[in-house]
């Protein structure tokens, strides 16, 4: 019976088979989108608009420093800000996000630290809010015997702000746990930048990076294992970046990753 005859008798057409459904569980990308005529279906348009809104919110929502302080309890936390006085200035002037303001610079203590961990907002405060403290706690458990400086929480911060923080505090290594630029598939992804012997003006070629730390990407435990290995190697070689090749074990990189619905 033809489609026209089916409609004439009041019967319903069988649902069109979706050959992409089995593949969608493996990716956050928009694959095999359905259509209505020459246009996308409403559900896909609305899903795109929702993702776009989440990406914008990730950039503009301020980091909840009070919540981070409460989560840390009695542990020592230092709060600093860059020379960018507000979010709009931060987005328009990346250079100001790389240097501390005067009050923050004067407030940083100096010591003999092996490493200082910094939790900056970056371009996704949501990522820092969710991922920074779990990774910091995981690293504290792995770095037995290391002299770890108080956690530094930085607002309106770019990656290079950590260089000035570590230089002022006297830390050999700085670890920046920063919110990555959000995309339309993931708005809460955190990246980690590791730098040995940082200084103001330090080039990006002197850093190692771990990226895509989020629910559907690199897990906290896997990121902590890889970061701990890199830090041990950095101390041994006394360098990071192009001089430190990432040949660490790949165990559990995507362990326990939730299925994508």
Query: Of the candidates 139, 102, 103, which has an alpha carbon nearest to the alpha carbon of residue 118?
Result: 139
Q: Cα–Cα distance between 192 and 217 in angstroms, integer?
A: 14
User: Tokens representing 124?
Assistant: 């996704």
Q: Is 159 annotated as ligand-binding?
A: yes
- Alpha helices (H) in the chain, listed in sequence order: 3-8, 21-24, 42-60, 65-72, 87-92, 102-107, 125-142, 161-169, 220-237
Using a 10 angstrom Cβ sphere, with 0-12 exposed, 13-18 middle and 19 or more buried, the burial of residue 185 is: middle
Q: Is 164 annotated as ligand-binding?
A: no
Binding residues for adenosylcob(III)alamin: 159, 180, 209
Q: Residue ranges for the binding site?
A: 159, 180, 209
């Amino acid at each position: 019976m033809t489609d026209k005859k089916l409609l004439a008798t009041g019967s319903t057409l069988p649902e069109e088979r979706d050959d992409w459904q089995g593949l969608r569980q493996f990716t956050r990308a928009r694959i095999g989108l359905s259509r209505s005529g020459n246009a996308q279906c409403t559900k896909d348009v609305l899903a795109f608009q929702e993702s776009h809104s989440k990406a914008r919110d990730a950039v503009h929502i301020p980091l909840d420093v009070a919540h981070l302080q409460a989560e840390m309890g009695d542990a020592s936390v230092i709060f600093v800000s860059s020379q960018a006085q507000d979010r709009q200035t931060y987005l328009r002037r990346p250079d100001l996000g790389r240097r501390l303001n005067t009050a923050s610079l004067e407030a940083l203590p100096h010591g003999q630290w092996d490493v200082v961990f910094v939790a900056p907002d970056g371009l996704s405060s949501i990522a820092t809010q969710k991922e920074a403290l779990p990774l910091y706690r995981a690293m504290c458990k792995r770095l037995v015997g290391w002299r770890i400086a108080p956690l530094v929480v930085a607002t309106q911060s770019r990656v290079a702000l950590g260089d000035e923080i570590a230089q002022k505090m006297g830390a050999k290594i700085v670890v920046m746990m920063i919110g990555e630029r959000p995309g339309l598939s993931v708005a809460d992804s955190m990246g980690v930048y590791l730098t040995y012997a940082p200084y103001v003006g330090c080039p990006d070629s002197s850093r190692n990076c771990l990226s895509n730390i989020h629910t559907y990407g690199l897990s906290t435990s896997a990121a902590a294992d890889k970061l701990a290995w890199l830090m041990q190697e950095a101390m041994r070689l006394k360098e990071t970046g192009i001089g430190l090749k990432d040949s660490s074990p790949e165990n559990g990189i995507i362990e326990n990753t939730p299925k994508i619905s």
